[in-house]
Structure 1
Amino acid sequence: TVDPDTEVCSLLGSKEGLGNLFRGLISYRSTASQKEVILVPDPGYASYGDAIRICGGLPMPLKMTPDNRYMPDFEARIKELKAEGIGPERIKALVLCYPSNPTGMSCTLDYYEQAVAVCKRHNILLINDPAYADLYFPGEEPPHSALEVAGAKDITIEFHTLSKPYAATGWRIGFAVGHPDAITALERVKGTVDSGIFKAIQKAGAFALTSPECEAYILEQNALYQTSQQLMVDGLRELGWPMDDVMLPKATFYLWIPVPPRFESATDFATQLLEKSGIVIVPGTAFGQYGEGYVRLSLVDTHDNMREALRRMKEDGFTWQ
């Protein structure tokens, strides 16, 4: 349970909350060797790094790959940074996002337990951003929360948004829960930049969170995302993609696929696909240096349009070989 007076903060969307938390957390240092560090997933949501840099901090990547099942070793990364001259005392926070944007991959509860233990050991704030936690396929285990871990609230702040599950991106509504000191730091910054959420939107959000009709909508959309993924996987396989070797997410509407080897880079592939076929995808490097070699597909269009995209790819020669 959480105390609504000290451990909860309403937000104009989780993106705003994350940016303001970084402002309240990072002490500005003009010298690069003194900048405070925040560990962020790479590939990961690009706004993390941008917001940290604006505040004078230094985002450092947690390398997420199929080899580590998109769950990198925290202690190993801290040791690497120490060898580079960045001691644990400079690391202010660790940011996690599962299910992941851009890969769609989830993590285990045991992984959250590791994260909490490491953060407690090194006095690092755990910032969890499970924006897609409600978007998991029928029959699959719901994604975990870091706050499920015993004692996690002592070191964790977790952000939630209504944008993804309720298709309410433009409404700008979300909330943060967790350690009261982190909530206080967030609220102090927010008090200087906004005056809260429009009351009608707050009431609509409260209705959505408690409405059986809205819960049914989420379940319906999740089933649709699953069939959309299968349609695209089957279509890419027909185009020669080695889909049996691709880790497929069981959540979100994203598909993270490798770039055909004949292209120079992810950006080269995405640019040619746009210019020749009119299909928009995002190169993996938009999400960090370790996104090279991959692209992100967002499976939110109609099935007819997805089939049309696959047809154009075949017609225009965008096959694996």
Structure 2
Amino acid sequence: MSATLPQVVPGADLPDAVTIYEVGPRDGLQNESTVVPTAVKADFVRRLVAAGLGTVETTSFVSPRWVPQLADAEDLLTELGDEGLGHRRPVLVPNERGLDRAMEHGVGAIAIFGSATETFAQRNLGRSLAESVQMFAPVVRRALDSDLWVRAYVSMCFGDPWEGPVPVTQVADACESLMELGAHQLSLGDTIGTGTTGHVEALLLELERRGIGADVIGVHFHDTYGQALANTLTALRAGVRVVDASTGGLGGCPYARSATGNLATEDLVWALDGLGIRTGVDLGALVETSVWMAKQLGRPAPSRVVKALSGG
């Protein structure tokens, strides 16, 4: 597919290049009611890589009881073979058992999934914030000992559906506790999409004050209130160079019903292309992939750029 491209007009205080951390195969699909066959998921990953997305989070080794969509994690990695390995093909692991399963398949990168609030920690992990850090400690230690790349997600950084506003210092405490375990990268999650630009600035400043620089941070914005792109540009101007996105705008959170779709990768690429920021992504190929996946799911892709460029 040959995509219409935006006129390029560079903006001030923005980077020359950005790394897109693609979460579609994991975060994008995990909340879909239509169970996607393993072979289709493998094809999805391959299409994303072919479109120029270097980093693709492929699956999660959580309990199939909690996330049935990802019950085929082992089968998917077997299907992908070497294409599913390396430091740029992370998988989510919730605990040591998940790590064991992932390492049996030779993965090169993992992600752990923490929380900034007690309520979400209990609902998502079944334990307190302190207990969750204790659970993650041996996971990270063993992963690092095996030369795996480690990412730490922190959810509810900009608001919680049960607790409401979350103080910036509380979020920074949670981030600090996970990064002290030795993770290479921190992803700040706006799980319910309530964050705004000033809030993003404040959190990044607090993290910098604590020695967690923008160079080790990725941002993960949901577009529930239409703020994801604005928040992303704010983060980029603050020095962040890694942005999470989901092809087609797929995704949500099975533990937070108010969490609608992720920032669509196509919408992000359109904005960055227009600013002259390199991503390495072929927008036409990516839109084609979204249209294909939408057919597998039986519904249109939420991404506005996909709708505009595909006539859907």
Say whether the fold is shared (TM-score over 0.5). no
TM-score by length of 1: 0.35
Q: Which has the larger radius of gyration?
A: 1
TM-score, structure 2 as length reference = 0.36
Q: Whose RCO is larger (CA < 8 A, sep 6+)?
A: 2
